[in-house]
Each structure stands twice: as structure tokens, then as C-alpha cells.
Chain A
Amino acid sequence: MISFELTEEQRLAQTMAAQLARSTLRPAARDADEHLAIPPSILKEIWATGIVQSQAGAEATRSATLNAILLEELAVAGASFAIAAAAPIGFLSAIASQGSDAQKKALLPLFAGDSYQSAAVAIVEPDFAFDVSAIRTAAVKTTNGYRLSGIKGPVPLTRYCSHFLVVARFEDRLQAFIVERDAKGVIIGEKRPNIGLRALETATVTFDNVEVSIGVRLGEFAGCDVQWIVDSARTAFAAIMTGISRAVMEFVIPYTKERVVHGAALAQKQVIAFRLADMRIETDAMRWMTWKAAAILEKGGDATRQAQLACTYAREQAMWIVDEGVQMLGGHGYLRDNPVEMWYRDARTVSALEGVVGV
């Protein structure tokens, strides 16, 4: 039955996330971008929301829709912060939904601790021709397990990662392998800051003939549905791009009302007012598309089409919105004193990624 109704629990969690985003996360966003790292105190706050740990609990507490709602709120404060939560969510939700019982039992409890920790879904490869349909990293069967070789990246927050979920070509299809960070042949490259999401300390991770045991293939002998992981990631990115778009809109509304040009507030000029109206239309639409994809995932349905459409739409609209946001502030929009230039960089970076996150 078609409904946009949030449950009481979802409403409460949304309010709390919004509160945290406003009071604590937003003020820390610029510094994190400048200093190329999320401060431990902020990671602690994100961890304290429980959003990551709830993925590891009993089946009933995982909710893709709730995750989408919360990721939007976190992204209003900063996309890097949202991804700091969405990356381990991506890993854990993949384990919880696709893993074997043994894998769930072994891995999920590891994420129940009190301090921030991560694990990354490694899909993207540092290659201009990269596409999820053309992954080069390969796994081959060995006597005792598998041998992985390839390069992944950018991978966020590698410092905090205990595991990587490596998507590789295996016997003519894509499969995922749970690789411990300390495994022999796993080489974490130098941190390499990107245009945006600079606080995420991204690096490439090389898998140089990494020998792994038979039990690490996600889903073990049954294997897994890598497309599910991609769909979940696209839904999470759509939620994050909705959050960035909202941040821009909420920032430029008061600015354009205050700023007087040729005797009238900018916002009183239709050319500006209409673009603000379009920001609202598109941000709404992005959110509903995200919710729809998340709701399908939550019900265990096939969300591939919906996740693709949500992400494709959000990419285009979010970039348009940040671009107009910079423009509306004029020269001020170009200065690092204002957050819009950061959102401009973040939006382009988010929209170029695949994998990494999840709902």
C-alpha cells in the first residue's frame, strides 16, 4: 500500500540524527575537509547513534528505509560524515543479507563494540574505464581457497577498516570475498585526497595474489548476488546526494533573502526564486525515489531498476543544485569561507563512486 508515513521510531531517529547533524557535525565539517580527516570525537558521535551497530543485530532491527532517512540527515551536515556511517553499513548489510550463517556469526559481533570501526565494500577500481560491469580484480580457485589479485580504490577510512569486501570476477561472474586487512599481500596505498570528501582519507588497496581460505567467499558455496550490494550502494548514495542538496537549499534561502542587488533581495527576482523552487522540487523527488528503492530492498525485492533510477536522477540533480548554490552566492560562493564550494566538490565526488556504501 502506497504510504509516505514514517513510523514513530523512524521519526524519533530522524529527529535525533538531524539534531546531531546541526549541533555537532555541521560545525566540524569544514575543519575535517581542511585537515583531511574526521576527528575521532566526531566518529565517536556517529558511532554513538547506533546506526552502524543496528545492522549487526537481529534481522528485525535492520531497516534500509530508516538508513536512507538517517543518511540524508547526516549528509546535510557533511557527506563525509554520512559515508563514515554508510561504509560500515554497506559492509555489514552485505554480510547480514548475503553471508552464510558462519560468516554472520563470525563477523557481525565484531561490530558491537564501543568505538568507531569500519570495513569497506571495495568495488571501484582506479581505472578510467572502470564500470561495475567491467571489474578487473580477479579471483581464482586454489587447492585450499581462492587467490585474489587486483587494485581497488578509492577506499575510504582504510585506517579504521578491519575487513574489505572485495568484489572480483570469479568464473565469469562477480563474487565478493571477505578479506582481512592484515592478510598477506594486502597493501594499503598512500592516502590520496580527492576533489571532495577529503576527510575520508581515501587510499587504494592492492590485493597482490592474496591467498584466502575457502570460507571467505560471501555466501560461501552458494555465492552471493553482487548486484544486491551495488543496488544498496546506489540507494545510499541517492540518500546522501539528497542530503547535500538539502544543505545547499537550506543555506541559500536565507542568503538570497538577505542579499540586496539593484534595490531588491536576490530571492525576489524570479530568476533566483524559480531556481529555488526547482531545488525544492528536485530534492523532494530525489528523496521519494531513494525511499522507494530502500523500501524495495527492505522487503527483499529486486531493487536494481529503482536504485539505478534513484541514483542516476540524484547525480544529475544534486550536481545541478550545488552548481546553482555556488552561483547564487556569487564570489562568496567561490570562497572557502562558505560551505557551498565544499558541497560542490563533495557532490561531484559522491556521484562518481560506486559501491563503498549501503543502506
Chain B
Amino acid sequence: MIDFELTAKDREIINLAREQGKIAQRYASYYDRHENELPPEQFPEAKNLPNPLDLAEHASDSSGARILHSLVMHEIYGGGIALHRSRWGLGNAVLNTVATPEQVEKWKNHTIAIAITEPGAGSDPANIRTTATFDRETDEWVLNGEKIFISQAESSDAAMVFSRFVDADGQRGMTTFLVEKGTPGFTVGPQLRKLGIRSHDTCNLLFENCRIPEFNHIKGNFKSTMTVFNDSRPMVGAMALGVARAALNFTREMLIQSGIQIDYRGGIRSRSAIADRFLKLEATFEAALLTVLRSKWLEQQDVPPKVEASIAKAAGGKAARKITQGCVELLGPEALAEDHPLDRCFRDGRIFDIYEGAGEIQRLIIARSILDYTSRDLR
């Protein structure tokens, strides 16, 4: 039956995440201003508090693990930084999806970053230039290339590198290699200077004649590797909306304090332009969050939500842009100060329509699906 009411269990876990988000704000603010410092593996407060993401995974009487997980992530992003730090990178997801049991065994406790993007290849991995050539004499691969915008670059133990290859027989193709930190020829650059999400560890990676043993060759099918992103897209939508909601809540509070009420009863001729705009931003938030829930609900029905995942990512990313920009405008000059919570929302909120497939890439995926076009028909 169609229903949008959270269960008591949902609310309990979401509230817990929200409370932890409040604690985390202090750290979010600190690491926003100290972008070259890596946050510790664990914040002191996290020691005695349960991780709401784990609770979401195993809760009974919830709206389902996928839905609740996304709503918890939404709360965590409302706080700006996770109080419980995750050790795992998307590279771990690739390892678990496509590696051999021996490889999984060897690296299961490593934090593995994923390295796809290059100076000339962002949304279009076909342009990847990083190349591994097989050296017959030593049975090693020799990797050369540059990877940029890599999350967890500094804090990870290894990187899952997407690369072209030329094997012993001269065969060419695309594949992945696991490169451990400390391998000669593998350099991690300095922290990138970003508009926002400055607590996120983001650097470029350089591979110069970096020699990798054959055992590190993760021979996944490229397509199945990319399905890792199908699961993460609606999650990015949920995260984007966490930042957007923090901005909306703050703006609402300030408007009310300034005597501007948000009244849902009247029509458009009953409210001020400011109240009307706020209401539209709030509607944009609701709209996007429901597309996230739709996608997550489909996941729970074991229907692979490809188009819906892209809809959720596109809607969440766009909503975060509109809402954070709109809130700063609504509150005016008082909201411009850098020590103001809206400042970080405004800067952080801009990333979600860019990373993990820009809004345009999501629209390509959606358009191909509704038009029944291949990637050749619609480029």
C-alpha cells in the first residue's frame, strides 16, 4: 500500500543520526577551515555512540534497509561530516564485486580509493590514457598516467586504478589494477584546493613507471565494475539533500525570527515574495527527496533502478544547487559571512551535481532510456 509515513524504528534511527549530525557540525566547521589536515579515523564522541548506518542495515520494522540507509546518510550530510568515519572506499566495492577470492583475502582490510578520472577523461572513461604495459621479463605491469580528483587519496592504503593495458601478446583493452601505497613510482599529490567539501580528502595521483605484480591485476568486466555506481547515485541524491535541508532549516528559522511566516494554507496572493520563494525551494526539496526514496524502494523490490537511480541523482544534485543558492539570496547580506552555517552549505552544496556522474550524464542515461536510444544514438 502506498504510504510515506516513517515507522517508529525509522524515526528512532533517523533522530539518532540527526543528533550525531549536530555534534559533527563542530568538526565539519574545523576541517572546512583546515583542509590540509586529515580528520582522525575516529572522532572521540563516536566511541560511545552507535553508528546509525549500521543500525539502519539491521533494523527490523523499518521501511527497509536501503531506504533507511539513504535517510540516515541524508542526516549525516546535514551535519556536514560523518561522526563515524567510514574506512571503506568505492575501490573496496569494486574489489568485493569483481576480484578473485585470493585478492579479496589479501586486501579486505585495506582502505581502497577508486581512481578513474584523468585530466582528459571525466564523465567519459573511454578517454582514459593511463596505460599499463606488461613486462615479460619480470612478469610485472608498468603503469604510467595521471589520475585527478581522487577521494580518500591520502587516507587510503591502496588505489583501484582504471587503466588501459597492453598485454604480453600486444592485446589492448581496459582493466583495473590495485596499486598499494608505497609502490615505487606511485605519488600522491597535495590536497586539492576546493570550493567546498574541504574536509574530504581529495588529491591527484601520479604513476611513473610504476611496477605492479600480476597478482594485483583485478580482472573485472568494466561494465560490471561500473554498476557499483548504480547503487551510489541515489545515495548522492540523499547526501545532496542533506546539505540542502540544513540550508532550508536554517533559513526558515531566520525568516521566522525576522517575522516572516511560512504559511501553507493560503494561495499565492496571500504571501510575500520571500515566503513564496522559500515555499518553492521547500517544494523542490520534497520533490527530489521522493525521487531518492522511489529509487531506494525499487532497490528493495529487487528491481534494478537504473533510470530511477539517475533521476534521483539528477534531481538531488540540481535541488542542492537551487536551494543553497536560493537560501543565501533569501537571507541577504547577513548570510554572507564566512562564519555563517549557510556559507558552508552554499559551497558544499555545489558538488553533488558534479561528482559521480554530472547532472548531464544522468540526463543522458535517462534520455537514452525513455527514447530507447543506444549510447551511439545519443552521445
**Interface of A toward B, CB cutoff 8 Å:** 1-7, 10, 65, 129-134, 227, 230, 249, 253, 256-257, 267-268, 270, 273-274, 276-278, 280-282, 284-286, 288-289, 291-292, 294-296, 299, 304-310, 312-313, 316, 354
Contact residues of B: prevailing secondary structure: helix
Most buried by B among A282, A286, A289, A354: A289
Q: Are the CB atoms of B311 and A129 closer together than 8 Å?
A: no
Q: Are the CB atoms of B266 and A133 closer together than 8 Å?
A: yes
Q: Are the CB atoms of B367 and A276 closer together than 8 Å?
A: yes
Interchain CA distance A2-B64 in the complex, whole Å:
8
Q: Are the CB atoms of B291 and A2 closer together than 8 Å?
A: no
CB-CB < 8 A to A316: which residues of B?
280, 283
> Closest 10 CB pairs between A and B?
A288-B290, A285-B287, A133-B266, A273-B367, A277-B366, A2-B63, A277-B363, A313-B283, A131-B269, A308-B264
Tell me how far the C-beta of A111 lies from the nearest C-beta in chain B, rounded to whole angstroms.
26
List 11 additional A-B contacts (Cβ < 8 Å) besides A132-B265, A268-B377, A280-B307: A1-B3, A2-B6, A130-B269, A281-B291, A281-B314, A282-B287, A285-B315, A286-B287, A288-B294, A312-B279, A313-B286
Tell me how far the C-beta of B342 lies from the nearest C-beta in chain A, rounded to whole angstroms.
22
Tell me how far the C-beta of B130 lies from the nearest C-beta in chain A, rounded to whole angstroms.
28
Tell me how far the C-beta of A354 lies from the nearest C-beta in chain B, rounded to whole angstroms.
6
5 contacts between A and B (CB under 8 A): A2-B64, A278-B363, A281-B291, A292-B4, A292-B286
Most buried by A among B279, B282, B283, B294: B283
Q: Are the CB atoms of A308 and B291 closer together than 8 Å?
A: no
Q: Are the CB atoms of B370 and A253 closer together than 8 Å?
A: yes
CB-CB < 8 A to A294: which residues of B?
2
B293 interface contact, C-beta 8 A: yes
Contact partner of A281 among B63, B264, B298, B366, CB < 8 A? B366
CB-CB < 8 A to A305: which residues of B?
264
Q: Are the CB atoms of B366 and A289 closer together than 8 Å?
A: no
Interchain CA distance A284-B370 in the complex, whole Å:
13
Interchain CA distance A6-B297 in the complex, whole Å:
13
- If the complex has contacts A129-B269, A273-B378, are A2 and B279 also in contact, measured as CB distance less than 8 A? no
B267 interface contact, C-beta 8 A: yes
Contact partner of A273 among B268, B279, B291, B363, CB < 8 A? B363
CB-CB < 8 A to B290: which residues of A?
285, 288-289, 292
Tell me how far the C-beta of A298 lies from the nearest C-beta in chain B, rounded to whole angstroms.
9
Render B256-285 as a binary contact track against A, CB cut-off 8 A, 1 for contact.
Answer: 000000001111111000000001101110
Interchain CA distance A2-B280 in the complex, whole Å:
24
Tell me how far the C-beta of A222 lies from the nearest C-beta in chain B, rounded to whole angstroms.
20
Tell me how far the C-beta of B316 lies from the nearest C-beta in chain A, rounded to whole angstroms.
10
CB-CB < 8 A to A278: which residues of B?
363
Q: Are the CB atoms of B297 and A1 closer together than 8 Å?
A: no
B42 interface contact, C-beta 8 A: no
Interchain CA distance A286-B366 in the complex, whole Å:
17
Most buried by A among B282, B290, B297, B360: B290
Contact partner of B267 among A133, A289, A292, CB < 8 A? A133
Closest to B62 in A: A1
- If the complex has contacts A131-B267, A227-B265, are A4 and B283 also in contact, measured as CB distance less than 8 A? no
Q: Are the CB atoms of A281 and B2 closer together than 8 Å?
A: no
B112 interface contact, C-beta 8 A: no
Tell me how far the C-beta of B87 lies from the nearest C-beta in chain A, rounded to whole angstroms.
29
Render B338-375 as a binary contact track against A, CB cut-off 8 A, 1 for contact.
Answer: 00000000000000000000001011101100110100
CB-CB < 8 A to B2: which residues of A?
3-6, 10, 65, 291, 294-295
Interchain CA distance A276-B363 in the complex, whole Å:
9
Q: Are the CB atoms of B1 and A274 closer together than 8 Å?
A: no
Interchain CA distance A2-B295 in the complex, whole Å:
12
Interchain CA distance A267-B293 in the complex, whole Å:
29
Interchain CA distance A133-B267 in the complex, whole Å:
7
Q: Which of B1-57 contact A (CB under 8 A)?
A: 1-7, 10
B67 interface contact, C-beta 8 A: yes
CB-CB < 8 A to B81: which residues of A?
none
- If the complex has contacts A274-B363, A276-B367, are A312 and B280 also in contact, measured as CB distance less than 8 A? yes
Q: Are the CB atoms of A5 and B1 closer together than 8 Å?
A: yes
Interchain CA distance A257-B370 in the complex, whole Å:
11
Closest to A268 in B: B378
